[in-house]
């Protein structure tokens, strides 16, 4: 069973700052997902990664398969980025179909 750890648990930053959220996992995966959860509760998929790096607007996600580690970066952060960011991993095969989730990082961007 995979263990997914995120850091930091809570992060408060000023508008415009560069944000980094980290995720590590314990066993091999097929893919890693970064998700965003807003106060209303809904979950939105940001990225799915199996290697390398992806960029979407001000968001960048990277993964290092050998080190079992991924980072989510937000450039030029804005108050609307305030949300919980969740890392989730898919099993590498033969295991559960569902995702295993981290506890999330609660991000607050102050104006």
Tell me how crowded residue 28 is: count the other CB atoms within 10 A of its CB: 12
Residue 27 binds another protein, judged by CB under 8 A: no
Q: Single out the segment in contact with another protein by CB under 8 A; choices: 16-24, 60-68, 74-82, 101-109.
A: 101-109
Residues within window 30-49 making contact with another protein, judged by CB under 8 A: 30-31, 33, 35, 40-45, 48
Residue 11 to residue 104: CA distance in whole angstroms = 11
Distance CA 16, CA 37 (A): 21
Minimum CB separation of residue 12 from another protein in Å reads 19
Kindly state the DSSP code that residue 79 receives in the 8-state scheme.
G
The H or E element containing residue 36 is strand 29-37
Interacting residue with another protein among 9, 14, 26, 50 (CB under 8 A):
50
Decide whether 98 or 111 has the Cβ nearer to another protein.
98
Dihedral of the alpha carbons of 27, 92, 100, 104, in degrees to the nearest 10: 70
Binding residues for another protein, rule: CB under 8 A, are: 29-31, 33, 35, 40-45, 48, 50, 86, 88, 90-93, 95-104
């Amino acid at each position: 069973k995979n263990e997914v750890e995120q850091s930091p648990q809570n992060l408060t930053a000023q508008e415009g700052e560069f944000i980094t959220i980290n995720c590590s996992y314990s066993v091999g995966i097929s893919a890693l997902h970064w998700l965003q959860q807003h106060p209303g509760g809904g979950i939105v998929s940001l990225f799915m990664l199996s290697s390398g790096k992806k960029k979407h607007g001000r968001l960048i996600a990277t993964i290092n398969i050998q080190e079992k580690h991924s980072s989510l970066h937000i450039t030029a952060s804005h108050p609307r980025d305030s949300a919980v960011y969740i890392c989730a991993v898919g099993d590498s095969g033969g295991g559960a179909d569902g995702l295993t989730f981290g506890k999330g990082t609660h991000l607050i961007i102050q104006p």
